[in-house]
Every structure is written in C-alpha cells, then in structure tokens.
A and B are shown apart, each in its own frame.
Chain A
Amino acid sequence: AQSVTQPDIHITVSEGASLELRCNYSYGATPYLFWYVQSPGQGLQLLLKYFSGDTLVQGIKGFEAEFKRSQSSFNLRKPSVHWSDAAEYFCAVGPNTGTASKLTFGTGTRLQVTL
C-alpha cells in the first residue's frame, strides 16, 4: 500500500529565509507526486506536480520540488519565504496509471512565518 510521510509537523521560518519541507513516500513504482497548500478554511490548492521527466519541477508562488527516486523523496523548496506563505502543506502520491486516481496524503506540515 502506498503511504506518505511528512516528518515535520510544524516549521517556523523568518520572512525572507529559505524553506524546505520534507516528504517521503512508499510505493512500489514511480508514483505521481503532488504538493498542495491549504490556508485556514480553504480547500487544497495545487502548488506543483511530478508525473515524469525532469526531476526538478517548478510550481506556482515560487515553489519548486525535486523528485529523488533513490531516496523516495519529493521535498518542497522556496528560496525566500513571504509572510503570505504561512499555511498547511500536504504532500500526496497517486498511482502511475495514466489517468486520475485516488491520492494518498501525508499528515501535513504547518508553516509559520515570522516577520
């Protein structure tokens, strides 16, 4: 069965500092990988996705993520955090079937940004 681990429950960074959120997955083959962001009272917004090809993917709001097959990781990064980035971040995996399939989410990392 597929699973996702986000080892950091809560992270605090200063505005302007760099950010890395960790995500490790367990899956029998190369999965589809996603990062979503959730602000309080809001649904999930897709930041970026990896389906195949280049292992470094660029997303919205200046985020990027790197797929590392050898480490089963898909860490999210941002070089300079803005106060508006404070939110909950979820990593998710889906089976590589070529069509829409159910996602398995991690438990999330809450990002706090100090001014």
Chain B
Amino acid sequence: GAGVSQSPRYKVAKRGQDVALRCDPISGHVSLFWYQQALGQGPEFLTYFQNEAQLDKSGLPSDRFFAERPEGSVSTLKIQRTQQEDSAVYLCASSLALAGGPHEQFFGPGTRLTVL
C-alpha cells in the first residue's frame, strides 16, 4: 500500500484481556517504531525495530507489553492482561533508514484501545 496501515482501528477490551495490534509498514522501510499517545498528550516512544531486530525497547511501560517483527516487515504489539491505564492510541511509524542520511517517520492512523 501507499502508506502505513494499522489494524484494528478501534479495540475495546475488558480489563485483564490480552490484545494484539498490527502494523503494516511502507514496503521496503527498514525501521519501524511504536508510540503510545494518551488522550491530550503527544506520542511517546515505546519500541524500535531495524528489520527484525528490536534495537530499543526502553519505552515499553511494563513487561505486559511485547512487540515483534519476525520477518522484518509486519509488526505486532501485544499487551497482556490489559489495564485501564493502557487506554490510548497506539501509533506505528516506519522509516526508510539508509546509512548516511536521516529520514522522517511516516505514521499510520493508529489503533485506539479502550480498556473497560
């Protein structure tokens, strides 16, 4: 596709349920980022992949959060035992990161997660 796509666009979960959020980056983009955007706030970094390697997961708020990108393309963000404070929009971004040059990140529309 032409841009970054995310699914589902909306997810409602009961507290304690597990959820999986999917991100399809722009074809050929090496770098993939996940951000969390709470209501009324700016996005906050969660984790970063370069191809299939997870190079930075310093922003994951707890061990209930897990991300993977097994084939270096599609990525999944999984949240186990969801809590109300996990309610947020989860944004995925991809970037064509070639050595020797900076590149901007292209964002998907996000998945709005509501935990009841």
Which single member of A32, A42, A97, A106 contacts B42 (CB below 8 Å)?
A: A106
On whether the beta carbons of B42 and A43 are closer than 8 Å, the reply is: no
Q: Name the prevailing secondary structure of the B interface residues.
A: loop
Chain B, interface residues (CB within 8 Å), range:
20 to 34
- In the complex, whether A107 has a CB less than 8 A from a CB of chain B is yes
Which single member of B42, B48, B98 contacts A107 (CB below 8 Å)?
A: B42
Which single member of B33, B98, B107 contacts A102 (CB below 8 Å)?
A: B33
- In the complex, whether B91 has a CB less than 8 A from a CB of chain A is yes
Give the shortest distance, in Å, between A13 (CB) and chain B (any CB).
21
**Chain B interface (Cβ < 8 Å from any Cβ of A):** 4, 30-31, 33, 35, 40-45, 48, 56, 59, 91, 93, 95-110
| Pairs of residues from A and B, 9 with the lowest C-beta to C-beta distance, nearest first | A105-B42, A100-B97, A100-B95, A100-B31, A43-B107, A44-B107, A102-B45, A43-B109, A99-B97
**Chain A interface (Cβ < 8 Å from any Cβ of B):** 4, 32, 34, 36, 41-46, 49, 51, 90, 92, 94, 96-108
